[in-house]
Structures are given as structure tokens and as C-alpha cells.
Amino acid sequence: MKYAIPVSGGVLDPHFGHCQEFAFVDADEAKKEILKKEIIPSPGHEPGVLPGWCAKQGARFVIAGGMGGRAVDLFKQNGIEVILGAPSESPEKVVLDYIDGVLVTGDNACDH
């Protein structure tokens, strides 16, 4: 399964649209291990671009600190499940914690 994580400074960026790059993490959920991580520069924060772009990269999940409601809807329309309120940790830790069922999430860090 492939996960998209917005990243700045090597950790999850709390505001999805302002990240510098994305970590695309392939994980074997049955074995609970990371298979591959690829860092790709963000194409920029233009309305509606990121959901389609992440889908083209093969992402099935996006784990973020926060994002606006319209973006959440667009991700869902692109077949990508959204997990919000994630902490600023390394992409690998966030994905492994999610797979293990121990990812602690809080409120959506975005207010629009």
C-alpha cells in the first residue's frame, strides 16, 4: 500500500498545502514493514492539484496534520483515504504507527 505524507524538514508538515515535498511510502501492511520511501518535491499549492497528483503517484492513503474540507473531498474522489491530525514525526514512523493501529491523531490542524 502506498501512503503520501506531506514533509518539510524531514518530518510531517502540519499544514498539508504548505509542505516542501512529499514522502511516498510503500508498506507491506501484513508484515508491518516499510518497503520503499521516495521523496518528491511538491508541485505547489494550487487549488485541486495535489489530490490528482498524489493519485497519479499511486497513493491510496494520505496522512496529514490538517487540510481543508474541499481538499479532503477531492482526495476521496480520487480514491485516496485521508487521515488527519497526525503528529510531526518521520514519514516512516507515521506510516508504521498507522499500520500498527497506534497512530495518535488530534484535531485537524487546518481551519479552512
For the segment 12-52, what is each residue's pLDDT rounded down to a tens digit? 998 777 788 999 999 999 999 999 999 999 887 777 789 99
- Report the C-alpha dihedral over residues 45, 92, 26, 78, rounded to 10 degrees: -30
The domain limits of the chain are 2-100
SS3 111: coil
Q: Classify residue 86 by its DSSP letter.
A: -
Q: What is the largest CA-CA distance in the chain?
A: 37
The CATH homologous superfamily to which domain 2-100 belongs is Dinitrogenase iron-molybdenum cofactor biosynthesis domain (3.30.420.130)
pTM: predicted TM-score of the whole model, two decimal places: 0.91
**In this structure, what is the dihedral angle of CA atoms 1, 30, 107, 41, given to the nearest 10 degrees?**
-30
pLDDT score at 109:
57
Q: Is the pLDDT of residue 75 over 70?
A: yes
* Selection from 11, 9, 1, 19 nearest residue 92 by Cα: 11
